[in-house]
Structures are given as C-alpha cells and as structure tokens.
Amino acid sequence: MTDPYAVASASANLLARLTGFDSHDVAVVLGSGWAPAADAIGPPDAVVPLAELGGFPEPTVPGHVPAVRSVRAGRSRALVFLGRSHLYEGHQPAAVVHGVRTAIAAGCRVIVLTNAAGGIRRGFRPGQPVLISDHINLTGQSPVAGPPPPGGYPSRFTDLSQAYSPRLRAIAKAANPSLEEGVYAALVGPHYETPAEIRMLRAAGADLVGMSTALETIAARHLGAEVLGLSLVTNLAAGLGDQPLDHSEVVAAGQQAALRMGTLLAEILPGLA
C-alpha cells in the first residue's frame, strides 16, 4: 500500500455502494470466535465480503470471517467486522488497521475493538468480559510509522494519553456495572507467551495479553475516533493454569460466550455514537 489512506477511502466508497448506506456511525471489530455475537447485535441490512472492498488480506486464522455487516443499532448505523487480520499472519501494520481506517472513512467516529485475551490479573476467569483501560504495545510496530500522512490528515505524532475513551467506558459500565477494567498487553505472536514473559508483563502492569487491538487503537486515535476496547478472557495466561494453551480452545471459549458478548454489545452500541 503506497497510500493506505487512499486505499481506505476507496474501500469506504465501495462499502457505501454495496451496503446502500452513505455513512455509518460506529464500527465493531469482533475477536477470535466472536462471529456468532454479530447475530445478537442485530439482523444485518447488508453483508459484504471484505474481498469486494479491496485492501483487506484474506484471513488465515480460524474464528475470523472475512465479511462486514451493516446493522441498525438504535438511532445509529453500525459496521460489524466479523474478524480481523494480524501481524503474525505476515501483514504490514497498514493492512492490520485497514478495517479501522475504512470504517472511519465511512463516517464512524466510534470504534469498538474486541478480542480474545489471556488473563494475567489474579481473579480474572475464562468467560469474563473486561473493558480495556489502556494498552502496552509490545509489537515493535506502529501504523503511523513510515512516511508522513498525506495532506489533510492529522500529524503522525498521535497523543495516546486517553487511548481508550473514558466517556465510552462509562457508558459501557452504566449498561453493565459488573464490568472490570484492565490493561491489555499486545504482542506479535502467533506463539503464546512463556511463564517468564507473563511474570514480566504482570510486573509491568498488564492485566490481559493478546495479539491484536493495539495497532487498531493507534490508527483510530490518529484519525480522531473514540475507542472502546473489550476483551473476553478465554484462558489463563501461560504458567497461571494447569492446561497447555491451544488456539482451538480459545476460539471455542469465544464461541461459547458469543451470545452473551453480543447481547452486551447490543446494549452498549446504541448509546455510543
């Protein structure tokens, strides 16, 4: 991608034509195994394969569906991405954040990023949703690195002091007061962490660990969108449980909690935009 912003704008134009809606207000990116949650959010008015929009690499990870839905959410119109791309698939940061940039080019001012995560904080349990209050980006990459953005776009020196919107978190906690908050550590993967790495992350203040979300958050904040992050704890992090870590079990845990997570998102989305 020589100009990822132009590619995102072109994808947004195609999205408007293929969905029949000129603009959208909020976007949701679903994590591993969460695709069934889309049904709980609401019936789609349009479903578009990502391959038809350009710029989206083909997913290679089980649990991620290469499609986006256009859904009514209260008085807002939402885009629901049924999966995402990851750095560990061999993609560049621009490809990983293309969905977020496309959504913002399509009019979305709120981005909801969900993921499956390992629980580091004592007391976190599989099946528990956790609001992301902040992140630690340990991928060594950034979607705003490289050539400066074209004219008309914000400076690449993006302020992340409020990466995850306090306003949106307050709305989510009002809808579900039982939601806890935590710091998400993003690593490249695809291998899981060692117990020593988890001890390091805990010492650094991380409560959750995963392989996504941070770059998308940076891209969204760069373009001025608010971000709400929501992790589903699908397993205890390495060294904290008795069982070896297995991606198929992570996807299965996401699928088991999908209806509950979709119901939570359906409650939250109408008040976000």
Domain boundaries, given as residue ranges, for the chain: 4-271
Decide if 212 is catalytic: yes
Q: Residue 228 in contact with residue 112, Cβ under 8 Å? A: yes
The pLDDT score that the predictor gives to residue 250 is 67
Q: Coil, strand, or helix at residue 88?
A: helix
The pLDDT score that the predictor gives to residue 6 is 96
d(CA 245, CA 242): 9
Sign of the torsion angle spanned by Cα atoms 63, 81, 95, 185: negative
Instruction: Given the residues 16, 46, 76, 89, select the one marked as catalytic.
Output: 89
The pLDDT score that the predictor gives to residue 34 is 72
The pLDDT score that the predictor gives to residue 252 is 73
What are the per-10-residue average pLDDT scores of the chain (273 residues)?
90 97 96 79 94 89 83 94 92 96 98 94 92 98 95 96 97 94 97 94 97 97 98 83 67 74 89 81
The pLDDT score that the predictor gives to residue 22 is 95
pTM above 0.75, yes or no: yes
Decide if 247 is catalytic: yes
Angle (deg, nearest 10), helices 214-222 and 98-105: 30
Decide if 32 is catalytic: yes
The pLDDT score that the predictor gives to residue 62 is 67
Instruction: Given the residues 103, 105, 211, 253, select the one marked as catalytic.
Output: 211
Instruction: Given the residues 98, 214, 235, 273, select the one marked as catalytic.
Output: 235
Q: Residue 102 in contact with residue 12, Cβ under 8 Å? A: yes
The pLDDT score that the predictor gives to residue 107 is 97
d(CA 26, CA 249): 30
Instruction: Given the residues 86, 98, 135, 222, select the one marked as catalytic.
Output: 86
Decide if 88 is catalytic: yes
Strand 67-73 relative to strand 76-81, pairing: antiparallel
Decide if 86 is catalytic: yes
Which whole-number Å values give the CA distances from 210 to 10, 14, 118, 194, 216, in the listed order? Answer: 30, 31, 6, 13, 13
Instruction: Given the residues 37, 95, 103, 116, select the one marked as catalytic.
Output: 116
Q: Which two three-digit tokens encode residue 162?
A: 């409020």
The pLDDT score that the predictor gives to residue 105 is 98
Decide if 116 is catalytic: yes
- Domain with residues 4-271, CATH architecture: 3-Layer(aba) Sandwich (3.40)
Instruction: Given the residues 11, 70, 212, 231, select the one marked as catalytic.
Output: 212
